[in-house]
Structures are given as structure tokens and as C-alpha cells.
């Protein structure tokens, strides 16, 4: 690991990837270095992608990727939103769980007489009691920051009966990530608790940004006038020549002093495949485990609980004969039939699908903490840096900003924006 690049004067910096980590890194370095951001897609934001759903002549902003922010654990994200004066508010976060082959549905927390009565059934009360016991045990893991215990370990420490673990807890976590039950059981309990808010002191209220989260990404881009932002860019693997890092972008060569890889680990590894001097970076990216998810935005109510009175913000289908999945009622605030569903492998999108997205997620298993340490030790090696939620912290949006901050602290120590974000960012 080399010293701060900022100590060597103004640098030519390329950022490959225009998601939250890449855009935030550019904003932090704006005016300090000569920065160019290359993004392959036609929009900024990566996993933050707000689209407009047209229903009955109404346009509804909907998040295709990251959506749920909370007042606890998102200090950096909320600080940026407030800095740009974007209107935000909180709304109660109510979820439904459908179990027993679709025969049982209940809401957490209950929000009406009907959902309260459903929760008073003996079998449901038993499940809720054990969920509360799990959340109580999870407090210690969250406070200790211990990545070691898996979800399966947390369940064992709680003393939870097998039937509750296999029918409720493990499929609930699996549906949240769009993965198989076995994969969910192997995740780091600390990461799951932090991302899902499975803690007694967690306030079940989500933060909503007027117009969608994409507005804050647009605000960052607009507030970095010295940065050269380029959409629709095809970037070829890095070559090291004459002391510079050469990127061929849309067939034309460009030389840089520093390259920040703010795309996912798969694409970052491919960008390091062109020069043997980047072999250590390539190996570090190859070690990251991942999962894949397809998300459909549609208007088909068959993906929701059978009875409309059970429809909630997030609806978890935990039936045992298929992979658990989640459907978000994106139109709940207005009553519009707009839904976002994590599709099962090989499942066709509903005919009413208007948008389809595919995402790659890091598998936050206990071993991933060591992979993050490996990447941290390489930062700046050969002029290459890595940013993205998989490099710093748990699998949530705040980690993307934290990763950008870590890179910027080395490339622009003492910069006003870097110092400001450091004060905002959550631990």
C-alpha cells in the first residue's frame, strides 16, 4: 500500500463505474484532481435507479434497485440528501409474511384490526415470539461488529426451534436477497442484522425521498462541474505503459495516473486482466463470491398476498415448495397496482412488466471480511483503487459511500468535501 496520492499534486484520475460509489468519489475529488467518470449504462446511479411507472395516466417514481433507507445507519446518505435540500420524510415499514403453502399471512407490525387478529393465532404468536427472541440476541452481535457467526449460528444461539427457523427466519432472509435458503443460512449474521434491521431498537420506518433516490445521484453529478462525466462508455482492460495507466475507451486511448474501479468485482477483475502487473488485483476480485437477482416492475397482483387487506410495503412469500421471494408494493402510497418482484431462477417476467433489471450482489459470508481486508491492503497499488459497497462494510447503500470516502481520503486528504462526509458517515 502506498502513501496518499494527494501528496503528489494534481492527478489525472479515471473512475470506471457511475454508480453511487463512483459518482460520490468523483464529487469528493471535484476540483482537486482532473477527474473523468466512465459509465457503460445510459444513466447514473448503478443500483440506485429511479424509473417512472405510468399507470392510469399517472407517473409514479419507482426504485428498481436500492430503496430502503433508515434513520439509523445511513448518516452519510441522509447527510448528502439534506445537503442538497431534497425533501424527505419517513413512513412506517410494514411487511407481510405468507407461509404454510399460502394458507397463513400476517403483518409485522400489525397495522389494522384484521392484521392484528391474524397475529393472535397461536401458531403466529409462537413465530413472532421467536422472531423477537432472535432480534434480542442479534443486538449483541450488531453491537460487537462480529462477522464470524452465521445466520445458522445466530439461530442456534437463540435456541429457536427448527420448524420456526426453516419455515420463517431462513426463508425470510433468503427472500430479502433473492437467494436460496442454504445461501441465506451461511450469511454473516452481523451483515444480515445490519441490513435488515433485525434488532429490537430498530425503528421500522423507512426514509422516502421526494421524486426518488435518483435525485440525489443527479444532484451529485450537477454539483461536480469540473468532472468529465461520460455515459455509454465502453472501457477496455487497463494497460501499464510509460509510468501511466492507459484505458482504451470507445476505441481511443487515454492515459491516467490513478484508476478507481467503481464497478462490480466481476467487471473490475476483467479490467485488470490486460496486464500481468495487476495480477494481485485480479486475484482479489476473483475471490469475491456473488449472487444474482432479476427484478421485474409490473402490475400483476397475483404476486401479492391473496387478500388485499394483507398487502404491505414488502411482501415475503415463504412457501416451502419454491425459492422464497419478495414483492414490493411500490404503489402503496397511492393505492396504484405497481409491484416490484424478485423473480425466481428461470421464471418469466409477468406480461405487464414495464421494466426488468438484473443485479449482482456480494455474498456477505463471514469470509468476506477477509476479502475486504485484502482489497484494502491493495488500495493504490499500481495506481489502482477499488470502490463499491462490497469493499467496505455490509451490503447496504451506506457502504458504497463509505468506500468512496476511503478512496478520497487517500487521494485528496484535507479536502473540504472529504472532511464533511467523514463527519456524516455512519459507523
Kindly write down the DSSP assignment for every residue of 274-287, as one continuous string: T-GGGHHHHHHHHT
**Would you state the pLDDT for residue 3?**
52
**Phi, psi dihedrals of residue 371, rounded to the nearest 5°:** -70, -35
**Would you state the pLDDT for residue 112?**
57
- Strand 258-261 relative to strand 12-16: parallel, antiparallel, unpaired? parallel
**Would you state the pLDDT for residue 235?**
97
Report whether pLDDT(319) > 90.
no
Q: Which three cell numbers stand for residue 11?
A: 492527478
Distance CA 263, CA 388 (A): 7
Q: Which three cell numbers stand for residue 270?
A: 476483467
Section 276-285 average pLDDT: 96
Concatenated DSSP letters of 175-186: HHHT--HHHHHT
**Would you state the pLDDT for residue 318?**
93
What is the per-residue pLDDT across 288-301, written as a single tens digit (0 to 9) for each?
999 999 999 999 99
**Would you state the pLDDT for residue 4?**
59
Taking CA atoms, 149 is separated from 121, 145, 289, in Å, by 32, 10, 18
Listed in order, the ranges of the chain carrying CATH 3.90.660 are 93-207+290-362
**Would you state the pLDDT for residue 72?**
85
Nearest to 317 by CA among 119, 110, 103, 102: 102
The three-state secondary structure class of 294 is strand
What is the per-residue pLDDT across 388-402, written as a single tens digit (0 to 9) for each?
999 999 989 999 999
Report whether pLDDT(115) > 60.
no
Report whether pLDDT(425) > 80.
yes
Report whether pLDDT(407) > 70.
yes
Report whether pLDDT(222) > 90.
yes
What is the per-residue pLDDT across 331-361, written as a single tens digit (0 to 9) for each?
998 899 999 999 999 999 999 999 999 999 9
- The pLDDT > 90 percentage for the chain reads 76
Q: Class for domain 5-48+213-289+367-424, per CATH?
A: alpha beta
Section 8-23 average pLDDT: 95
Query: What mean pLDDT is reported for the chain?
Result: 92
**Would you state the pLDDT for residue 160?**
96
Burial of residue 384 (number of CB atoms within 10 Å: 0-12, 13-18, 19+): buried
Going by pLDDT thresholds of 50, 70 and 90, the confidence category of residue 1 is very low
Listed in order, the ranges of the chain carrying CATH 3.50.50.60 are 5-48+213-289+367-424
Choice among 132-141, 193-202, 227-236 with the minimum mean pLDDT: 193-202
Q: Distance from CA of residue 90 to its chain's centroid? A: 19
pTM: 0.93
Nearest to 185 by CA among 167, 196, 197, 173: 173
**Would you state the pLDDT for residue 54?**
86
The second-level CATH assignment, the architecture, of 93-207+290-362 is Alpha-Beta Complex (3.90)
Going by pLDDT thresholds of 50, 70 and 90, the confidence category of residue 19 is very high
Going by pLDDT thresholds of 50, 70 and 90, the confidence category of residue 121 is confident
Choice among 34-48, 253-267, 309-323 with the minimum mean pLDDT: 309-323
What is the per-residue pLDDT across 184-196, written as a single tens digit (0 to 9) for each?
999 999 999 988 8
Amino acid at each position: 500500500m502506498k502513501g496518499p496520492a494527494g501528496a503528489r499534486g494534481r492527478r489525472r484520475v479515471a473512475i470506471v463505474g457511475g454508480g453511487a460509489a463512483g459518482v460520490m468519489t468523483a464529487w469528493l475529488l471535484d476540483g482537486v484532481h482532473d477527474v473523468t467518470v466512465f459509465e457503460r449504462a445510459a444513466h447514473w446511479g448503478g443500483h440506485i435507479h429511479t424509473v417512472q411507472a405510468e399507470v392510469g395516466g399517472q407517473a409514479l417514481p419507482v426504485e428498481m434497485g436500492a430503496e430502503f433507507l433508515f434513520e439509523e445507519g445511513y448518516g452519510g446518505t441522509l447527510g448528502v440528501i439534506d445537503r442538497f435540500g431534497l425533501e424527505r420524510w419517513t413512513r412506517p415499514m410494514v411487511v407481510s409474511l405468507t407461509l404454510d403453502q399460502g394458507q397463513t399471512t400476517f403483518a409485522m407490525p400489525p397495522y389494522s384490526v384484521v392484521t392484528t387478529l391474524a397475529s393472535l393465532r397461536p401458531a403466529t404468536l409462537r413465530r413472532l415470539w421467536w422472531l423477537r427472541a432472535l432480534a434480542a440476541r442479534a443486538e449483541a452481535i450488531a453491537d460487537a461488529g462480529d462477522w464470524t457467526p452465521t445466520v445458522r449460528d445466530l439461530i442456534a444461539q437463540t435456541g429457536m426451534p427448527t420448524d420456526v427457523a426453516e419455515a420463517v427466519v431462513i426463508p425470510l432472509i433468503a427472500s430479502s436477497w433473492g437467494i436460496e435458503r442454504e445461501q441465506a443460512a451461511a450469511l454473516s449474521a452481523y451483515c444480515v442484522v445490519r441490513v435488515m434491521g433485525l434488532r429490537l431498537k430498530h425503528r421500522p420506518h423507512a426514509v422516502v425521498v421526494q421524486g426518488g433516490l435518483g435525485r440525489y445521484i443527479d444532484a451529485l453529478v450537477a454539483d461536480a462541474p469540473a468532472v468529465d462525466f461520460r455515459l455509454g462508455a465502453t472501457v477496455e482492460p487497463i494497460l501499464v505503459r510509460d509510468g501511466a495507466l492507459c484505458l482504451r475507451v470507445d476505441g481511443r486511448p487515454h492515459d491516467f495516473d490513478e484508476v478507481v474501479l467503481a464497478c462490480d468485482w466481476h467487471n473490475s477483475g476483467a479490467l485488470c486482466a490486460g496486464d500481468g502487473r495487476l495480477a494481485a488485483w485480479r486475484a482479489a476480485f476473483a475471490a469475491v463470491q456473488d449472487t444474482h437477482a432479476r427484478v421485474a416492475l409490473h402490475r400483476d397482483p397475483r404476486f401479492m398476498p391473496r387478500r388485499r387487506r394483507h398487502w404491505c410495503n414488502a411482501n415475503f412469500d415463504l412457501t416451502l415448495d419454491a425459492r422464497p421471494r419478495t414483492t414490493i408494493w411500490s404503489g402503496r402510497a397511492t393505492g396504484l397496482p405497481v409491484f416490484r418482484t424478485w423473480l425466481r431462477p428461470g421464471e418469466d417476467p409477468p406480461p405487464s412488466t414495464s421494466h426488468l433489471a438484473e443485479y449482482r450482489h456480494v455474498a456477505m459470508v463471514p469470509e468476506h471480511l477477509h476479502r475486504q481486508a485484502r482489497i484494502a491492503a491493495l488500495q493504490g497499488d499500481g495506481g489502482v483503487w477499488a470502490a463499491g459497497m462490497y469493499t467496505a462494510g455490509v451490503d447496504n447503500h451506506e457502504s458504497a459511500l463509505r468506500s468512496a470516502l476511503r478512496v478520497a481520503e487517500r487521494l485528496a486528504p484535507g479536502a473540504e468535501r472529504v472532511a464533511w462526509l467523514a463527519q456524516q458517515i455512519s459507523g
